[in-house]
Amino acid sequence: MNALSDLIIEFYEKLSSWEQSVVEGSGITLPQMHTIEILGVNSMIKMKDLASKMGVTTGTLTVMIDNLEKKGLVQRIQNPADRRSYVIQLTEKGTEHYQRHSDFHLKLTRECTANFSEAEIRTFDTLLREFIRHI
């Protein structure tokens, strides 16, 4: 079990290092990029729901959204379902950042699984989903 724990730590460290290298020079921090990723998948999301997905408080998220808004990457718009609240969505510039980052993730996945058979990919997918479910 210690060997598996060491492998998980090594995987996390390598993935974190790779992600950091991807955002370097972009003017966006890694937490900001993670916010953009969530918004890319969940357009027009309420602050409360976004904070929940990120595991942060709405206060922490407000600062993050303020900074992303100043960079022209996100915008707050009046919630069409409830005019008393706002939803967050990516701007065109934010969508471009999201797409580029998503493409990097897809490329990494393809490179890392290039030597896997279809059966190994299915097994890896199943095991990874189970692993994530327990985190």
Tokens representing residue 35 in the block: 């916010």
CA distances from 99 to 7, 40, 92, 105, 132 (A): 30, 8, 10, 10, 24
Find, among 60, 130, 34, the residue nearest to 42 by Cα.
34
Residue 70 has a pLDDT of 98
Q: Walk me through the domains of the chain, giving residue ranges and CATH numbers.
A: 2-109 (1.10.10.10)
DSSP three-state, residue 87:
strand
Whole-angstrom distance, CA of residue 74 vs CA of residue 44: 10
**pTM assigned to the model:** 0.83
Taking the chain (135 residues) in runs of 10, the rounded mean pLDDT of each run is: 92 89 88 95 92 94 97 95 92 96 92 96 96 91
* E strand segments, the chain: 45-46, 74-78, 86-90
pLDDT tens digits, 103-122: 988 999 999 999 999 999 99
Quote the pLDDT of residue 15. 87
